[in-house]
Amino acid sequence: MLGILNHPKLDYTWFTTTLLRWSSEGLVVYDRWVLNLSGVGEYGHNGGTVLLDFYYLCYLIAFIGVLFFFTRYRKQGWLKVKPHVPYDALLLTMIGVLVGAKTAYIFIYNPDFYFGPPPFGPVDTNDMLQRIFLNWSGMASHGAAAGVMCMAILWWLRARPKVPIAQLGDVGGIAAAFGAIWIRLANFMNGELYGRVAPDWLPWAMRFPVRSGKGNAVVFQTDTLWERMPKPENPELVASWLKTLQESNPGGVIEQTDSVLFRNPDAYQQGWEIMLRTQDGAQFMTPQKDHIYMGVFDVVTTPRHPSQLYQLLLEGLLVLIFLLILRKRVKRAGMVAAGFWIAYPVARFIGEFFRQPDVQFQQAGNELGTVFLGLSMGQILSLLMACVGTGLMIYFARFGRVIADEPMYPPEPEKPKAEGPVSVTIEKGMGGSTGAGEIAGIETVRAALAEKEKEWAKDERPEGTLERQDDDQDKPEPGQPERGD
């Protein structure tokens, strides 16, 4: 969902990340209109299979950017690699980003969702594996950077001869900044990772749909907050799962068709409002204690900074411009890659002051969700990443190879050496009528080769043969006088 501008006429249900969906009614476009033999009509529900999602479209564009930059700099001659190397780099980048980002999110940001007990954790091993391998909703950018670096190191260790990993990292850093632009745009379109409370005078303050730390939609009913939790996909597990929910929260479970409402007043610790849908658009209000509200209402945040757009500019556009300028000024390989490992975490550290810290770390007394000395988890990881980048910058500044001296990778295979003497025939016409032969010194080379061929012939004959022939040539023929002074 796209966040809502602070405007009573703008309803966020108009926005979605699902671009194409196939349903029993036909092809659904933008989760709004359905196309079938009857024409174009309104689409009233979310059933069907997603064919194209804006979030994954942005990932696709980011990966295309990797291939674009590697190919561009190879053709310009700045990156001295063969045409197939950019495709190798793209494959390893995809593996590093997807595996690294997901792994970091699982173990750092939300381990309880994947390994914890029910009701929020998986109900069995199959459910756990589905959450790990089929649910890509949680991705951590620091993990993506670490994953790409691990793949680069493995590539360098396994390749024979060694790949120019430092210069490949330079191009990879530029491509990563380009990808950050699109990933932050996807975060904005998905209404996630939004900012902290905005001041009243900020004209672009926005409201966003509220989700709990487990990723569940939060709704308001009977004067409290509830989480809308989807039922397990395996029907055989639904009964045991519902029993676990009811035991953990007696009287706080309302079963619905495909989900349940789980009463959780601590589902969200920040400021929120309920949204009322009227003929005049969306209306927002804070629930009053002395008022009875009938029905289930969507919950949105109070006006916030659209920090995803701030990060798009800081971590994406500005870092990209910085790296493009740096590339034209450095002479040693690895400096641009080190620049990314410094510039990105600095930009991320600044952006975190406007971004809402992860709700997984919120608790009573720490509603903001900081983890150490008032810093968020993203800021802690950014400091660690910047330290690594500083070390890389110092190393490559002293020991990095000069880019102009980098050989072509992979090198051309060595041709087998011919055994014995080699005779090279140079035609008299070589050099043509332009005089290029004289400029190149071909006549001198021809004379030197002729003398060399005499030496090779001498070495191949039995000892004394050539000398005797020369002596016979020096003797005068019968009837001729001997030469003298």
Q: What is the DSSP string of 62-131?
A: HHHHHHHHHHHHHHHTSS-B-TTHHHHHHHHHHHHHHHHHHHHIIIII-HHHHHSPTTTS-SSHHHHHHH
What's the pLDDT at 3? 47
Which range, of 140-154, 181-195, 215-229, 270-284, averages the lowest pLDDT? Answer: 270-284
The domain spans of the chain are 1-47, 52-195+328-405, 202-304, 423-466
Residue 161 preceded by cis peptide, ω within 30:
yes
Q: Is residue 402 within 8 Å of residue 332, measured between CB atoms?
A: yes
- With bands split at pLDDT 50, 70 and 90, how would you rate the model's confidence at 436? very low
Q: From start to end of 244-305, where are the E strands?
A: 253-255, 259-263, 272-278, 281-285, 297-301
CB 261 within 8 A of CB 226: yes
Is residue 328 pLDDT above 90, yes or no? yes
- Across 419-463, the runs of DSSP E, i.e. the strands, are none
Residue pair 18/54 in contact (Cβ under 8 Å)? The answer is yes
The most confident of 214-228, 263-277, 376-390, by mean pLDDT = 376-390
Question: What percentage of the chain exceeds 90 in pLDDT?
Answer: 31
Tokens 């950077």 belong to 145
Q: How far apart are CA 273 and CA 291, in angstroms?
A: 15
Q: Is the peptide bond before 119 cis (omega within 30 degrees of 0)?
A: yes
User: pTM of the entire structure?
Assistant: 0.76
> pLDDT value at position 128?
84
**Least confidently predicted of 123-127, 303-307, 346-350, 478-482:** 478-482
pLDDT computed for residue 310 by the predictor: 96
Half-sphere exposure at residue 161, Cβ-oriented, CA atoms within 13 angstroms = 9
Q: What is the pLDDT of residue 176?
A: 94
Most confident of 223-227, 278-282, 297-301, 349-353: 349-353
Q: Can you give the pLDDT at residue 435?
A: 43
Q: What span, in angstroms and rounded, lies between the C-alpha atoms of 46 and 254?
A: 21
- 67, HSE (Cβ side, Cα atoms, 13 Å): 12
Do residues 142 and 28 lie in contact, with contact meaning Cβ atoms separated by under 8 Å?
Answer: no
Residue 330's pLDDT band, with cuts at 50, 70 and 90, is very high
Tens-place pLDDT, residues 184-213: 998 888 888 889 899 888 888 888 888 887
Closest CA to 372 of 385, 386, 357, 350: 357
The residue with greater pLDDT, 307 or 283, is: 307
**Averaged pLDDT, 5-27:** 68
H/E stretch holding 22: strand 18-23
Residue 423 has pLDDT above 60, yes or no: no
Nearest to 320 by CA among 297, 299, 343: 343
Contact 20, 27 (CB under 8 A): yes
